[in-house]
Structures are given as structure tokens and as C-alpha cells.
């Protein structure tokens, strides 16, 4: 049985007395590896190593730091097929989607290649007589990232790409459910020229996360995962005096106005609702047809599209999506389907009976569709995170805006319409962080920033783009003058003003 170890100071690391967790193969339901779970001592060791490496890395000029990112990008591209295969085997997403997971992370690395420009400070010449003011963005020191299972390549790269480019040393605590690719990425960073100890991977569960959050030398932590844990991480980290950003769960709505192009909606919706088995924080698990008759027309087109979805082994190139990540997660999704039925939602298409020949023990669930879901149902209020699409009918535009705005989650939302005024009004009013207009999964490009609102994000800084640079650095502002001795200050006891 393969053992996935920590990666500290540029080498595999395993310590006495550590616990292990099983890493499953979602296609077959078998255990394919064990991952070591860090003790507090292992986390402390990684922080110590990172602290030593950070000083020199921070003193390395930004062009040289950027060159490591350029080379890393080249190495990952060269190795993409192998990484995608490994990712797919632990996560269960199909190979083409695993390639997308890596590619979206690499786009943040491309942004990080521009760090000499992005981290440049500001300068005001002659802010006062003979006085100049400049500000610089300095790295924080040792920082950490705690990542979820659903994007094991992209989300670690969102975080360590920008943090390391800014001159920090990084400790990555990836999901214990698909931990292999993060280690491979750290090895490629080393190969790309990153000094040992600047990027370390520590596997683990709550014990490792708490140790990182409590450690006084960890100056900031970025978290992505479910909302209750995001909230917990935010509070515990902030109490320990750290800078924390913590992204949580989601329940994104797709609003379909009566004038929308329904063929386009259905083509987009099946991918957005069921792609990656619905295990995306920017999936569209709720569709809101607006006005009389829109729901019926939508369902007529949706059913054949759902019937055409092929669920299969993640390496089957003709599959649209593969298994969900674990047996536990599969059961949780099935419980939500039961709950929705008991709450009175109308089950139009039941994916629970899907069987994949030769893979009967894999964690497969077929696409599932509910109609007549209402806002008071718990199955609507909570995140299911599976291939389950819920139709919530809205009487008019205002009703649709309030459904998305009043939901506890506010990650993403999309509107389908041909009416520019309605679209603009929607984008202005909706209480959600990322908005798509005729775009189903509005994940912003790497040089913009990613982040939801309400219980989808705790803390106030987004991931990547210039918000990422802000999060991973602190500003120092210098006010300087070089007097020649001829100035006298008659007013030294009064606060200087620019009056």
C-alpha cells in the first residue's frame, strides 16, 4: 500500500507516532493509499523549517522569484497528463476536468509571474517641502493554506502561487481525501528553483489545522472548505492574532428570465449543475425559472439533456462526470435526496439507481432533478454538493433577486436574459459576490479576484489577483526628508499638517 508522506524541507517526511487516513479510489471504492496525519510536533517542525528559509527568499529580488514561477508553469504543463491522471484517480473527476483544475491553477501562477509589477509600492515625490512618501508591500513571513478536496490543484495554486511570489514561506495543508497532487506540485516548485523549505506540505486533519492556527509564527492563513469549518478557522485564527481569509460553502442560483434563450440555458445548465458530479463551489444546483410557463418550457428541454448525460469511470473519455469523492459523501447526498422528497419536492429524475457496470462499488450517483422546491425546505437552504439540481419557481424578477439575495450562501449567481436592463439591475442589486450574465459559472479570471459573500466567505479579502497580493503582504509607509540643516521647526509641538 502506497503511503503519502509530508513534504518538508524539500524531502519526504514522516514522524514516529503519526496516525494515518485511507485515501480511496472513488471509481472502485477500494483503498488505494494511506496518508500520514500530522501531529502538533510535525507542524511545529514545518514552521521552523519555513521560518529559516523565508528570510533569504524574501531578500531574493522579485524578478528571480518570478522566474521560479515561469519555470514551475513550464514543468507543470510538461507533466499535466500524469498530474491529471493522479488527480482524477483520487478525486473522481473526469480527466478533461482534472486538466481544467490544473490549468485554472496555472493561470494564477501566470499572474504570479508578474509579481515584480504587482508588488511594486507607491511613491509621492514632494508630499511636503523636501518630503517624499513611499510605501512598500512586504511579505508576512510564514503563512499557511488549508484546502478542500474538490480542487486539489487549483486552490493550492491560488494560494501558494501568490503568497510565495510575494516572498513568504508557505505551509500547505491539503485535503486528506486527495492529497497526492499537492505534494507533486511542491516537488515541481523545488525543481523549478524554489529553495528548500519555502513550500512545505503537511497532511492532516483538525489536529494539524489547529496547530497551524495556534502557532505564533504563522502570520496568516487562507482556508477554503465548508462554511462551519471556515467560520471556525476564521474565529480561531483571528483570536490567535492572524490574518485569515476563509471561503465556505455555496448554493448558487441560475435565474432564467422568460426571454432567455432556453437552448443556451439548458446547454450551460447541465454542465454547471452536474459537471464534476456537482462538487464545485461554483456549480449551479438551483435553477429559478421566472414567470408563468417558463418552468414547463425549461423542464421539457432539460429532461432529454439529462438523459444524454453519461456517468462513468473518471478515465472513460466519453463520460460527462465520474463518481463522487467518498462513500460517506455519496450517502450524504442520498440523504438529501430523501429529505427533499419528504419535504414535498417533486422528484422528476432520480439518479440514485445509476449503476456503472464493472464499477458497482464506485461512488456513482446519476443526475437528479427536483421541481417545486421552496425556500422553506432544508434541502434548499443547505448545500448538497452533489449532482442534484433543484427548480425553485419565481413569480417575477423581484422574487428571483430575493431568493438569491436572502439565501445564507452568496458565492456565485447567474442570470439568463436578453434584456440588458434586467441584467444590469440584477448585477447591481443581488447580494452575492460573483455574478454571471449569461455565463453559468462566473469564476473570475486569475488577475481579477475570487470570493463570495455572506456564509460563503469569512474575512474581507478575496483570493488571487491584487486582493491576493494585499492578503499576503503588509504595507509599510515611509515618510522621508533629508534636511541640509537650514530648516528650523518653530512648531515642533503641533501635529504637522498640509495646511
Residue numbers at the binding site for ligand NAD (CB under 6 A): 146-151, 173, 175-176, 205-206, 209, 224-226, 229, 247-250, 281, 383, 385, 411, 452, 456
Minimum CB separation of residue 218 from ligand NAD in Å reads 14
Minimum CB separation of residue 153 from ligand NAD in Å reads 12
Which of residues 31 and 475 has its CB atom nearest to ligand NAD in the complex?
A: 31
Give the position of cell 460527462: 320
Which of residues 89 and 227 has its CB atom nearest to ligand NAD in the complex?
A: 227
Which of residues 281 and 311 has its CB atom nearest to ligand NAD in the complex?
A: 281
Burial environment of residue 366 by CB neighbours within 10 A (0 to 12, 13 to 18, 19 or more): buried
Which residue is at the shortest CB distance from ligand NAD?
Answer: 225
Minimum CB separation of residue 279 from ligand NAD in Å reads 7
Q: Please confirm, yes or no, whether 281 is among the known catalytic residues.
A: yes
Minimum CB separation of residue 122 from ligand NAD in Å reads 30
Minimum CB separation of residue 460 from ligand NAD in Å reads 14
Which of residues 13 and 450 has its CB atom nearest to ligand NAD in the complex?
A: 450
Which of residues 172 and 422 has its CB atom nearest to ligand NAD in the complex?
A: 172
Which of residues 257 and 414 has its CB atom nearest to ligand NAD in the complex?
A: 414
Catalytic residue of the set 281, 295, 391, 401: 281
Minimum CB separation of residue 284 from ligand NAD in Å reads 13
Which of residues 202 and 299 has its CB atom nearest to ligand NAD in the complex?
A: 202
The contacts of residue 330 (CB under 8 Å, 6+ apart) are 323, 324, 363, 364, 365, 386
The contacts of residue 124 (CB under 8 Å, 6+ apart) are 132, 133, 134
C-alpha distances (whole Å) from 485 to each of 427, 481, 488, 489 are 58, 11, 8, 11
Minimum CB separation of residue 118 from ligand NAD in Å reads 21
- Which are the catalytic amino acids? 281
Amino acid at each position: 500500500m502506497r503511503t503519502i508522506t509530508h513534504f518538508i524541507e524539500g524531502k519526504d517526511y514522516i514522524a514516529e507516532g503519526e496516525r494515518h487516513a485511507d485515501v480511496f479510489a472513488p471509481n472502485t471504492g477500494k483503498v488505494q493509499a494511506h496518508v500520514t496525519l500530522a501531529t502538533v510536533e510535525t507542524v511545529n517542525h514545518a514552521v521552523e523549517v519555513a521560518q529559516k528559509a523565508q528570510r533569504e527568499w524574501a531578500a531574493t529580488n522579485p524578478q528571480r522569484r518570478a522566474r521560479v514561477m515561469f519555470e514551475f508553469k513550464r514543468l507543470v504543463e510538461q507533466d499535466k497528463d500524469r498530474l491529471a491522471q493522479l488527480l482524477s484517480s483520487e478525486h473522481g473527476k473526469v480527466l478533461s476536468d482534472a486538466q481544467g483544475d490544473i490549468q485554472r491553477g496555472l493561470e494564477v501562477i501566470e499572474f504570479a509571474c508578474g509579481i515584480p509589477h504587482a508588488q511594486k509600492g507607491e511613491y509621492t515625490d514632494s508630499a511636503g517641502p523636501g518630503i517624499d512618501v513611499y510605501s512598500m508591500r512586504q511579505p508576512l513571513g510564514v503563512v499557511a493554506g488549508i484546502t478542500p478536496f474538490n480542487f486539489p490543484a487549483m486552490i493550492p495554486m491560488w494560494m501558494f502561487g501568490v503568497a510565495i511570489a510575494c516572498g513568504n514561506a508557505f505551509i500547505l495543508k491539503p485535503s486528506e481525501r486527495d492529497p497526492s497532487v499537492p505534494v507533486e506540485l511542491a516537488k515541481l516548485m523545488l525543481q523549478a528553483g524554489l529553495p528548500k523549505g519555502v513550500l512545505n506540505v503537511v497532511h492532516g486533519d483538525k489536529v494539524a489545522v489547529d496547530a497551524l492556527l495556534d502557532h505564533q509564527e504563522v502570520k496568516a492563513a487562507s482556508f477554503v472548505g465548508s462554511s462551519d469549518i471556515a467560520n471556525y478557522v476564521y474565529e480561531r485564527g483571528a483570536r490567535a492574532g492572524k490574518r485569515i481569509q476563509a471561503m465556505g460553502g455555496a448554493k448558487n442560483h441560475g435565474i432564467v428570465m422568460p426571454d432567455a434563450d432556453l437552448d443556451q440555458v439548458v446547454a450551460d445548465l447541465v454542465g454547471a449543475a452536474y459537471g464534476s458530479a456537482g462538487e464545485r463551489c461554483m456549480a449551479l444546483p438551483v435553477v429559478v425559472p421566472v414567470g408563468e410557463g417558463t418552468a414547463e418550457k425549461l423542464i421539457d428541454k432539460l429532461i432529454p439533456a439529462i438523459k444524454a448525460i453519461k456517468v462513468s469511470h473518471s478515465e472513460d473519455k466519453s463520460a460527462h462526470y465520474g463518481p463522487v469523492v467518498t462513500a460517506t459523501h455519496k450517502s450524504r447526498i442520498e440523504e438529501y435526496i430523501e429529505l427533499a422528497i419528504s419535504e414535498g419536492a417533486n422528484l422528476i429524475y432520480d439518479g440514485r439507481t445509476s449503476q456503472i457496470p464493472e464499477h458497482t462499488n464506485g461512488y456513482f450517483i446519476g443526475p437528479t432533478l427536483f421541481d417545486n422546491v421552496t425556500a422553506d425546505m432544508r434541502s434548499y437552504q443547505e448545500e448538497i454538493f452533489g449532482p442534484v439540481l433543484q427548480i425553485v419557481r419565481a413569480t417575477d424578477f423581484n422574487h428571483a433577486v430575493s431568493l438569491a439575495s436572502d439565501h445564507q450562501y452568496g458565492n456565485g449567481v447567474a442570470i439568463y436574459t436578453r434584456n440588458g436592463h434586467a441584467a444590469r439591475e440584477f448585477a447591481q442589486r443581488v447580494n452575492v459576490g460573483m455574478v454571471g450574465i449569461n455565463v453559468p459559472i462566473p469564476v473570475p479570471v486569475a488577475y481579477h479576484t475570487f470570493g463570495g459573500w455572506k456564509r460563503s466567505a469569512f474575512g474581507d479579502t478575496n483570493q488571487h489577483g491584487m486582493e491576493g497580493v494585499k492578503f499576503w503582504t503588509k504595507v509599510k509607509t515611509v515618510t522621508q526628508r533629508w534636511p541640509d540643516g537650514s530648516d528650523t521647526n518653530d512648531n515642533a509641538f503641533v501635529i504637522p499638517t498640509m495646511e
